[in-house]
Amino acid sequence: MNDRLPHWLRGVLTLEAAYRWRALATDGSDLVVSGATALAVQLRHRVCDEIVCVPAGSLLREPVTVAGMAVASTDDILVNLLWTESGERLADLRQVELRTPLQVEEGLILLAHVRPELSTERVISELSEAAAQLTGDLGEYWAERLPEVAASMAVRGFVRRAVVPRQRGPVHRPALTLGSSGQVWVEPHERDGQPVAGYWRRR
C-alpha cells in the first residue's frame, strides 16, 4: 500500500493519523479500524487524530476495505462507542443518530450480542452522567433523548419518540457509501418548521 490516501480520507485524518494509517496498510495489518476513527471515515463529520483498531474476530458485520485497511461497520462502531469511554462519545453518538438509521436503542440490542455481561442500565446511566456535564445543543439533545432511551427499556407500554428527526414522507435515506459516490451530504435542517434528518443527494 504505497499509494497516497484518497483525498477525502486525508480530509478526516490528522497528518499523524494518516501516516499511521498508511504504515498499518503497508504492513498488511489484519486489524480492523473501529471506534471514533471508523466513524469519522464512515460519516466524514469531523477530523480524527487517532487510529483506533480492534481484532477482526469480534465483529457483528463484515467490515469494508478503505485504502488498504478494514473499517468496521456502523453497527460495530455504535457498539464500540456505547461501551468505551471517549471525550467525543456523545457527540459521535448524536451524529450516528442524525446521519444513519441507527439509534442508541438498537445499539443496546447489538451490545447485548457482543458484551452480554454488560448491564444496559449501567450504560444508560453512564451516558446520563456524561450528558449532565454537557451544555449547548449537544446537552439539550441528550437531555431530551436519554429519557426516551430509558423509557424504551420498558417491556410494555407506549413510548413517545420525538427527538431524532425523520425524513418527511416515504423517501428513504440511501445507505451510507464510501469513496466518491457522486453524492453530497445535506446536513439535518428545518423545512417549513419541521426537522428534516440529514440525507445524501446527487450533486
Question: Where does this chain bind other proteins (CB under 8 A)?
Answer: 60-61, 101-103, 105-106, 108-110, 112-113, 120, 151-161, 166-170, 172-175, 192-194
**What b/e string do you get for 54-90 counting C-beta neighbours within 10 Å, with b at 16 or more?**
beeeebeeebbebbbbbbbbbbbbbbbbbeeeeeebb
Q: For the CB of residue 20, give the shortest distance to other proteins in the complex, in Å.
A: 30
Cβ atoms of residues 138 and 94 within 8 Å:
yes
Q: Nearest approach, Cβ of 11 to other proteins (angstroms)?
A: 26
Nearest residue (CB) to other proteins, 112 versus 132: 112
To other proteins, the closest distance from the beta carbon of 30 in angstroms equals: 23
Q: Which is nearer to other proteins, 125 or 194 (CB)?
A: 194
Instruction: State the Cα–Cα distance between residues 155 and 152, nearest whole angstrom.
Output: 8
Cell 439535518 locates to 188
User: 44: burial class by Cβ within 10 Å (0-12, 13-18, 19+)?
Assistant: middle
Q: What dihedral angle (degrees, nearest 10) is formed by the CA atoms of 115, 116, 119, 125?
A: 40
Please say which residue, 57 or 170, places its beta carbon nearer to other proteins: 170
Nearer to other proteins, 75 or 92 (CB): 75
Task: Classify 172 as helix, strand or coil.
Answer: coil
Q: How far is the CB of 118 from other proteins (least distance, A)?
A: 11
Find the shortest distance in angstroms from Cβ 85 to other proteins: 20
Q: Which is nearer to other proteins, 89 or 99 (CB)?
A: 99
State the Cα–Cα distance between residues 146 and 166, nearest whole angstrom. Answer: 18
